[in-house]
Amino acid sequence: AQKITQTQPGMFVQEKEAVTLDCTYDTSDQSYGLFWYKQPSSGEMIFLIYQGSYDEQNATEGRYSLNFQKARKSANLVISASQLGDSAMYFCAMRELYNTDKLIFGTGTRLQVFP
Amino acid sequence: NAGVTQTPKFRVLKTGQSMTLLCAQDMNHEYMYWYRQDPGMGLRLIHYSVGEGTTAKGEVPDGYNVSRLKKQNFLLGLESAAPSQTSVYFCASEAGVGGLNNEQFFGPGTRLTVL
């Protein structure tokens, strides 16, 4: 079964608007970590934000925040005030406590920001 | 501090040829990883290493071999390339020691085409 599901292959957002990229996950572990990475057209993978399963607050990093709903097993990335430079692929990933050696990635969402 | 570097950046092979991709990191990280990225499939783990002299299979190890003779280097070998191995290959490293929140640092990628 797929562990990380990103159901939006592509998203469009206008500059300065907020956008939410969806991520749901499947695990039987109580302890796990969730990551978001950005991949611009240049190809490199850039770490954006991390959320631990026991973190009480939703993670925030500048314009990025994570809408973590544990009961729903969702970890959606919210980008506020979108910029043209936010156009990229975005990947959600998970690490489980019983398998901390590995990150499991979703298939990604391509975000395009238009003026 | 170069982070994670990969050589080469591009390569074209004929079916049946062999090659080695080199990954180097200067962050003294324990863990290193090789992923392949194909359209619509996200990043899939090929092999990984949790320390010098150790390697382990990931999700898609067939047709690849790896070696970690030195802590800073992780080599990915293709003994007999096949067109199905046409992909973008990413190397990553992380500090390790079993932390849920350990960020993976990625190299710039190698685009491999097998004709």
pLDDT tens, residue order, chain B (115 aa): 789 999 999 999 999 999 999 999 999 999 999 999 998 888 999 999 999 999 999 999 999 999 999 999 999 999 999 999 999 999 999 997 667 888 999 999 999 999 9
Task: Mark yes or no for CB contact B104/A108 under 8 Å.
Answer: no
E strand residue ranges, A1-87: 4-5, 10-14, 19-21, 24-25, 32-39, 46-52, 60-61, 64-69, 74-79
For residue B55, the chain A residue with the least C-alpha distance is A101
Kindly state the helix (H) or strand (E) to which residue A109 belongs, with its residue range: strand A109-114
Which two structure tokens, joined as six digits, stand for A73?
């097993």
Give me the count of residues in chain A: 115
A&B contacts, CB < 8 Å: 54
